[in-house]
């Protein structure tokens, strides 16, 4: 197991290095100036500012300096937020996004699993159709449409929850639910398909023949096996939540990181672009790593084949 | 066995968390909403009319604070915040006229208009240290220092404050900048040329004082959060950690604190207009700026206000592209374009946000003479929509070019609003000018700027917001050497007129305005160098209880110094 994880971690750093380099190149190809007032200044006046931030150096020099700082964990300072340290900036904004993301993921997966199991155990009944419809709606309607809908019903119409702004945990409910629609749909679909498959397999028949009760069959045998494919998609789903949060955060006026990412690109805020990209990459890669390790926990065969090379 | 337990543990935890979440929901509902709501509704609904109204204003900003270090601020939000937490030598009053602020009365101005001697009033920073003339010297020197990389320092000071240009070129020491403190209370500023709008410029963010001791102690951290700053304006900043929302609280150390009535201003960043409007409707926010769609929807709302801004938008018509003259090098073609679309329709139907058609370059309600007479009364209207004249010029132009078909590109932004306008321009111009084909190039702002740098466009939809209160802020854009020109327009007579306002007529305000009027006629009527489109406005919903909120034509957009909440009886 240790060997397997070590190998994965080395790959992880290699991927990050490539992502950082690639982002750097793309960023340098971005047209435009990081100065908000660039339109007002003459080219000479702009040059003075670029000089200070080292933007006039040859690209390889900038690249080497950038990678050097990155290795030390230093993302540099933002242009847009003068003097603001990018790491601090990300950490401050991340708080809100992380709360929304984690709630959406946990809530979404749980509800999805429940819906999927109901659908599988009561296949071809009203329950099944009902949960399938929910799954289809969840996958086909974008989260921001749900966001507006929820906002209208629960805040404007019923007045139960805040329209927007961060006023504590209450403010996180609607955006979390809006974001959870995707995970609900995905989890429900996967669990349903897998459960149906597993339930019709021979060993379930054997378990039934041995007289195992319904509960034991459903949870101990069928559910556990159905979990594997679900865990596979959870990584991408978590990453998907981040992109979904770009718009949802804006609708609910929550000062999260999603919106920051978009803004940094449109304002050519190089340090923040790099910081957020690296952060998202690390996030996704770590999630994938965790998923791989979880495989091993749930299905020991995977770990064996991975580690016995 | 181990795995088995692990899974059960997870399952139980997950199930429990659902219950916990459900319980939390109820508790929070019962616990926190009530007191919050009570407070909010105090202002909106009337419980007891006799009760004193809480002096709390709830505002929305569409963007976060990028920088409020006065040396490096470069955007509307930053300058607006600075205007309310700091105070320069002068401040714009409720009518946007410059009044002495940190300056004790008007300065002594030398005969030639080049030397200003200010007396600094007795005032304190929010940490109790006195505001002195040295604070201004330090701030100005910091803004011109190339190490600071201030975008606005060199841009505003070069050619105006003595030695500013030379410092930028490395030919003079920073200490040579034309600002000296004779003692703590006496500030002497030396200029390169007389500047008619110098006093109003002294309210601008870049010229605000900075306390050297405090700023150097903070180092890189200065102005990165509300604790890392000291204030000498009507309000202090609070609860700002460098990103997101912020608060203003009354600054008790402010010299004119008796005038300030608001105790607190709560600002939240809301980028979605729909969300902002909902917050306004629920009484959580006192003011919201509307986008065009909402402006139409709320047109009959009794609380809607139309505020005219001072930004003017126009077509830059490029005469030389890739070294070759464009069809726009022909004055008749330019004239046909400039008169060939109905600006009233553009403002009322396409923009529908309170903007007005512009038949001028220097905006209306922006600059005034000593008697308060608007500059627009000195000048006339140009490039007024007129299809017959446009078509006549068009035919003449085509004949001179020896063709009957012309294709022109309009370069513009890629926002929804910009695209809508460009589509409209295309259909309007193609319909009115036979033989004209317009191709649209819609690009992000940064790309447009690069294309502008290399004059790589035919017609560019551009705009300008002034940084100081003088017609020259606009008129200077199109002199031959201006970095804003970039459309290969050059008229030595025009350049000379503009120059004369800085030299010959610098100390004669009336004559200056007349010269600007003459120059505007040359630019828009004789040369038709640009085609003005509209002066931007904004539609705002504002709680009628809010009184005395001052809006300004440049620098910080608003002053809350005189704002207060009035009891409203329904």
ipTM attached to this prediction: 0.78
- The answer on pLDDT for B4 being more than 60 is no
Task: Write phi, then psi, for A269 (nearest 5 degrees).
Answer: -85, 85
How much is the pLDDT for B157? 93
Contact flag B14-A33 (C-beta cutoff 8 Å): no
Residue A32 to residue B450, Cβ atoms within 8 A: yes
Block residue for tokens 């034509």: B553
Number of H helices, E strands in chain A: 13, 0
Given this model, what pLDDT does residue B168 score? Answer: 86
State the greatest distance between any 2 C-alpha atoms of chain B, in Å, as a whole number: 96
- Look at residue A302 in the predicted model and tell me its pLDDT: 61
CA A148 to chain centre: 21
Give the residue with greater pLDDT, A209 vs B477.
Answer: B477
Who among A46, A92, A297 is closest to B242 (CB)?
Answer: A92
Pairwise CA distance, residues B549 & B564, whole Å:
8
Cβ-nearest to A35 among B74, B221, B223: B74
- In the three-class reduction of DSSP (H, G, I as helix; E, B as strand; rest coil), residue B268 is classed as strand
Token reading at B242: 């460098």
CA atoms of A308 and A296, how far apart (whole Å): 13
The answer to whether residue B48 scores a pLDDT higher than 50 is no
Both structure tokens of B128: 């109790």
Query: What distance in Å separates the CA atoms of residue B338 and residue B526, rounded to the nearest whole number?
Result: 12
Counting DSSP H helices and E strands in chain B, the numbers are: 17, 23
Query: Is A36 a residue whose pLDDT tops 80?
Result: no
**Tokens for B219?**
């180092």
Partner B, chain A 112-171, Cβ-Cβ below 8 Å? 148, 151, 155-156, 159-160, 163-170
The rounded distance, in Å, linking the Cα atoms of A31 and A33 is 7
The answer to whether B414 touches B443, Cβ cutoff 8 Å, is: yes
| CA B195 to each of CA B19, B47, B83, B562: distance values in angstroms, whole numbers, following the listed order | 70, 54, 22, 29
Q: Which one, of B206, B106, B217, B99, lies nearest residue B160 by Cα?
A: B206
* Residues of chain A positioned with their CB less than 8 A from the CB of B244: 92-93, 255
Cα A287 to Cα A58, A274, B61, B184, distances in angstroms: 36, 20, 36, 61
Considering chain B, what percentage of its residues have pLDDT values greater than 70? 91
Contact residues, chain A, for B447 at CB < 8 Å = 31-32
Percent of chain A with pLDDT over 90: 1
Residue B11 — pLDDT band, cuts 50, 70, 90? low
Could you read off the pLDDT of B215-242 as tens digits, one per residue?
A: 999 988 899 899 999 999 999 999 998 8
Predicted confidence at residue B261, as pLDDT, reads: 94
- Nearest Cα of chain B lies from the Cα of A15 at a distance, in angstroms, of 30
Residues in B touching A91 (Cβ below 8 Å): none
Measured CA to CA in angstroms, residue B481 lies from A210, B485, B487, B492 at distances of 93, 7, 11, 11
* Residues in CB range of B266: below 8 A, 6 or more apart: B56, B57, B58, B59, B245, B247
- Of residues B310 and A259, the one with the higher pLDDT is B310
The answer, for A228 touching chain B at a CB cutoff of 8 Å, is: no
Per-residue pLDDT for B42 more than 70? no
Give the Å distances, CA to CA, from B426 to B333, B339, B344, B408, B530.
Answer: 16, 14, 16, 10, 17
Give the range among A205-214, B39-48, B122-131, B486-495 with minimum mean pLDDT. B39-48
Whether B466 contacts B473, CB under 8 Å: yes
CB within 8 Å: B271 and A48: no
CB B559 within 8 A of CB B92: yes
Q: What is the 3-state secondary structure (H, E, C) of B375-409?
A: HHHCCCCCCCCCHHHHHHHHHHHHHHHCCCCEEEE
For residue B75, the chain A residues in CB contact (below 8 A) are 36-37
Is the pLDDT at B67 greater than 90? The verdict is no
Q: Is the pLDDT of residue A29 over 90?
A: no
Q: Is the pLDDT of residue B19 over 70?
A: no
**pLDDT tens profile B375-422:** 999 999 999 999 999 999 999 999 999 998 999 999 998 888 889 999
Q: How confident is the model at residue A26 (pLDDT cuts 50, 70, 90)?
A: confident
The pLDDT of residue B203: 94
The answer to whether residue A84 scores a pLDDT higher than 80 is: no
If you ran DSSP here, which 8-state letter would residue B545 be given? T
User: Whole-model pTM?
Assistant: 0.82
**Chain A stretch 27-66, residues whose beta carbon is closer than 8 A to a beta carbon of chain B:** 30-33, 35-43, 45-46, 48-49, 51-53
Task: Please give the structure tokens belonging to residue B288.
Answer: 């919201």
Tell me if B155 and A45 make a contact (CB, 8 A cut-off): yes
Give the pLDDT score at B104.
Answer: 94
Q: What is the reported pLDDT for A226?
A: 78
* Minimal C-alpha gap between B140 and chain A (Å): 17
Whole-angstrom Cα distance, residue B494 to residue B516?
10
> A254 pLDDT exceeds 70?
yes
CB atoms within 10 A of CB B63: 13
Contact B461, B413 (CB under 8 A): yes
């Amino acid at each position: 197991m240790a060997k397997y994880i070590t190998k994965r971690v080395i790959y992880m750093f290699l991927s990050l290095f490539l992502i950082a380099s690639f982002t750097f190149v793309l960023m340098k190809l971005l047209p435009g100036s990081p100065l908000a007032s660039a339109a007002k200044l003459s080219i000479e006046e702009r040059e003075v500012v670029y000089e200070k931030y080292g933007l006039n150096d040859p690209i390889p020099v900038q690249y080497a300096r950038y990678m050097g700082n990155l290795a030390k964990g230093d993302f540099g300072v933002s242009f847009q937020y003068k003097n603001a340290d990018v790491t601090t900036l990300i950490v401050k904004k991340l708080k809100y996004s992380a709360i929304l993301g984690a709630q959406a993921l946990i809530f979404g997966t749980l509800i999805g699993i429940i819906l999927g199991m109901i659908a599988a155990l009561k296949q071809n009944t009203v329950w099944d159709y009902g949960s399938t419809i929910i799954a289809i709606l969840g996958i086909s309607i974008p989260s921001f449409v749900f966001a507006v809908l929820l906002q209208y019903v629960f805040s404007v119409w019923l007045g139960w929850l805040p329209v927007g702004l961060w006023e504590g945990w209450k403010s996180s409910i609607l955006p979390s639910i809006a974001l959870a629609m995707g995970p609900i749909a995905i989890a429900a679909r996967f669990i349903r398909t897998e459960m149906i498959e597993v339930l019709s397999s021979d060993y379930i028949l054997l378990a039934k023949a041995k007289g195992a009760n319904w509960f034991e069959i459903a949870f101990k045998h069928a559910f556990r096996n159905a979990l594997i494919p679900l865990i596979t998609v959870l990584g991408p789903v978590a990453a998907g939540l981040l992109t979904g949060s770009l718009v949802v955060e804006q609708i609910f006026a929550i000062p999260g990181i999603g919106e920051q990412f978009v803004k940094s690109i449109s304002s050519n805020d190089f340090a923040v672009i790099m910081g957020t990209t690296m952060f998202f990459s690390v996030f996704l890669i770590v999630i994938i790593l965790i998923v791989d390790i979880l495989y091993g926990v749930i299905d020991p065969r995977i770990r064996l084949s991975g580690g016995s090379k | 066995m181990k795995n088995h337990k692990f899974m059960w543990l997870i399952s139980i935890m997950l199930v429990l968390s659902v219950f916990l979440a459900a319980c939390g929901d109820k508790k929070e509902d019962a616990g926190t909403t009530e007191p919050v709501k009570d407070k909010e509704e105090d202002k909106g609904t009337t419980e007891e009319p006799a009760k004193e109204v809480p002096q709390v204003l709830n505002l929305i900003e569409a963007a976060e604070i990028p920088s409020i270090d006065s040396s490096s601020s470069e955007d509307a939000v930053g300058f607006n915040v600075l205007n309310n937490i700091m105070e320069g030598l002068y401040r714009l009053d409720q009518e946007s006229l410059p009044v002495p602020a940190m300056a004790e009365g008007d300065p002594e101005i030398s005969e030639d208009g080049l030397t200003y001697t200010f007396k600094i009033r007795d005032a304190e920073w929010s940490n109790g240290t006195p505001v002195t003339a040295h604070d201004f010297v330090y701030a100005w020197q910091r803004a011109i220092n190339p190490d600071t990389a201030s975008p606005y320092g060199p841009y505003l000071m070069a050619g105006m404050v003595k030695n500013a240009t030379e410092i930028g070129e490395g030919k003079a020491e920073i200490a040579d900048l034309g600002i000296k403190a004779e003692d703590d209370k006496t500030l002497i500023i030396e200029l390169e040329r007389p500047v008619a709008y110098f006093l109003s410029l002294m309210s601008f963010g870049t010229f605000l004082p900075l306390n050297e001791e405090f700023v150097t102690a903070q180092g890189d951290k200065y102005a990165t959060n509300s604790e890392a700053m000291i204030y000498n304006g009507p309000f202090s900043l609070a609860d700002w950690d460098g990103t997101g929302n912020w608060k203003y609280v009354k600054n008790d150390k402010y010299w004119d604190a008796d005038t300030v009535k608001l105790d607190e201003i709560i600002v939240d960043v809301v980028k979605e207009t729909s969300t902002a409007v909902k917050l306004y409707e629920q009484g959580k926010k006192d003011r919201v700026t509307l986008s065009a769609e909402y402006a139409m929807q709320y047109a009959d709302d009794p609380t809607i206000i139309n505020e005219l801004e001072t930004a003017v938008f126009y077509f830059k018509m490029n005469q030389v592209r890739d070294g070759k003259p464009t069809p726009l090098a022909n004055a008749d073609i330019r004239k046909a374009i400039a008169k060939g679309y109905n600006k009233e329709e553009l403002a009322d139907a396409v923009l529908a946000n309170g903007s007005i058609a512009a038949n001028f370059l220097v905006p209306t309600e922006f600059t005034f003479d000593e008697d308060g007479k608007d500059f627009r009364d000195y000048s006339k209207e140009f490039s007024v929509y007129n299809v017959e004249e446009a078509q006549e010029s068009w035919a003449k132009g085509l004949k001179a070019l020896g063709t009957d078909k012309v294709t022109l590109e309009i370069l513009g932004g890629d926002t929804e609003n910009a695209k809508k306008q460009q589509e409209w321009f295309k259909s309007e111009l193609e319909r009115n000018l036979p033989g004209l084909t317009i191709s649209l190039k819609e690009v992000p702002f940064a790309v447009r700027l690069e294309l502008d740098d290399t004059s790589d466009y035919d017609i560019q939809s551009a705009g300008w917001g002034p940084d100081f209160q003088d017609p020259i802020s606009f008129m200077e854009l199109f002199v031959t050497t201006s970095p804003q020109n970039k459309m290969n327009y050059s008229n030595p007579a025009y350049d000379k007129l503009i120059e004369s306002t800085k030299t010959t007529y610098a100390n004669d305000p009336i004559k200056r305005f007349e010269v600007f009027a003459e120059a505007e006629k040359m630019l828009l009527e004789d040369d038709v160098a640009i085609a003005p489109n509209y002066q931007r406005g904004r539609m705002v919903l504002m709680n009628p209880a809010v009184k005395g909120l001052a809006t300004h034509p440049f620098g910080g957009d608003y002053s809350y110094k005189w704002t207060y909440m009035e009891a409203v009886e329904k």
